[in-house]
Structure 1
């Protein structure tokens, strides 16, 4: 019986740290105190260190990113979610990539300007990396250290989808470049908003100053399909939450809130 409760407490602990779930954490604490597990040699060696790490994780901010093809509605859903979280009493920083900093906005102009349609793919990935390095150092890390929820419109996964899958660059190279520039600042939760490419591009181009869209929106459909396929494959990972973005914005936001309730509260 005691060993069963010990195993249960171990399960509650690791699940609470992995998911940042306060209630599971309390369940672990209660069982641990009741059974005297905090004084057990084995638990001390295997778990107690993780317990201290767990407290640090729970005390930090929460990093959310939104991904998806052009016109998937990321900006709209981010603004709705940020408003909702602020109403719940959270401090929220909303940012975007490329951009998010004064330097990043200049890089954004270069990356999206159609006049640079001959930009080499290696130049492109390194510009994204420069933007992200500044973004993480100047905005994201400081906000997380202050216990804020950070919501970013695109992050590393955009490079993996657009530059690795879309452009055909080496996946491992793209991953390693990004892992270096973000300094281990990976998102806690990533929403992938999924929509048919023709509908997405129609939406995106309707909002563009140029009917043809920006430099990325002008890419051929096959490129955008490769990007979408890459996102759908990513969505199978634990960090990701796939959301159908084809409905109206209220319906999409309702589904996002359901996921947030499971992952954050």
Structure 2
């Protein structure tokens, strides 16, 4: 089942918040009901963006400064939007994305101390009118999320962002909550300290409210405005 204009949902939050798990559970639920669903991620999601992903998460770009990292994130996002997300939305597909523009606002903007005007300009160019219909922010204490991330990684080394100080991660948590407060129509905050099945039920309820009934027009999205 395709929607008239597609639906773009992003999953945001700190390290270990359970975004990937919840995105998979929602995708499985929607697919079982006959919807066409595309799951993707950032950084990455397209051939060009995946090439940049390793550079960013390995820390190879870190010596060149946060401004360079922000530019690389924006370049990866632009390729992702134009090669994957926009075409899928045009086909009426539900696109679920693990991280998007709000992560750049938080990681490079707030805790990277980049000027808001610089971050906003990069965002505008990178998304090129494709803004999420709904952003779900998974909220939990930074210490809990980091412990989850470390258990998940097992013997792997922490990535570029997981290795940072707890204070930085807690500041990011607050920044995500500030984004949600400033944009309540788009953003929904979900308590990520609860069991996964309880969280999944809430996520399904949030997204089902955006899905059109059979025969009705699909929900508006950024594609229509671009």
Residue 250 of structure 1 corresponds to: 197
Matched, 1:164 2:109: yes
The runs of 5 or more residues in structure 2 that have no matched partner are 213-226
User: Cα deviations across residues 14-64 of structure 1 (Å, max 9, x unaligned)?
Assistant: xxxxxxxxxxxxxxxxxxxxxxxxxxxxxxxxxxxxxxxxxxxx7211100
Residue 196 of structure 1 corresponds to: 141
Q: What pairs up with 1:183-222 in 2 under 5 angstroms?
A: 183-208=128-153, 210=155, 213-222=158-167
Residue 223 of structure 2 corresponds to: none
What TM-score results when the alignment is normalised by the length of structure 1? 0.75
Q: Is the 8 A contact 1:103 1:131 kept in 2?
A: yes
Cα distance in 1 between the residues matched to 2:54 and 2:104: 17
Deviation of the 1:116 alpha carbon: 4.9
Q: More helix by proportion, 1 or 2?
A: 1
What TM-score results when the alignment is normalised by the length of structure 2? 0.88
Q: What pairs up with 1:103-142 in 2 under 5 angstroms?
A: 103-114=48-59, 116-142=61-87
4+ runs of 1 displaced by more than 6 Å? Answer: none
User: Cα deviations across residues 235-258 of structure 1 (Å, max 9, x unaligned)?
Assistant: 122100100111111011011112
Give the secondary structure class of the aligned counterpart of 2:12. strand
Residue 241 of structure 1 corresponds to: 188
Deviation of the 1:215 alpha carbon: 1.0
Cα distance in 2 between the residues matched to 1:249 and 1:104: 29
Cα distance in 2 between the residues matched to 1:178 and 1:245: 27
Cα distance in 2 between the residues matched to 1:165 and 1:176: 15
Give the secondary structure class of the aligned counterpart of 1:75. helix
Cα distance in 2 between the residues matched to 1:228 and 1:146: 34
| TM-align CA RMSD | 1.5
Q: Is the deviation greater in 151-160 or in 99-108?
A: 99-108
- Larger Cα-atom Rg: 1
Deviation of the 1:211 alpha carbon: 5.7
Cα distance in 1 between the residues matched to 2:16 and 2:151: 9
Q: What pairs up with 1:21-36 in 2 under 5 angstroms?
A: none
Cα distance in 2 between the residues matched to 1:209 and 1:102: 27
Cα distance in 1 between the residues matched to 2:76 and 2:14: 20
Cα distance in 2 between the residues matched to 1:175 and 1:88: 37
Matched, 1:64 2:28: no
User: Cα deviations across residues 71-108 of structure 1 (Å, max 9, x unaligned)?
Assistant: 00000000000011111211001000001112211211
Q: Is the 8 A contact 1:193 1:242 kept in 2?
A: yes
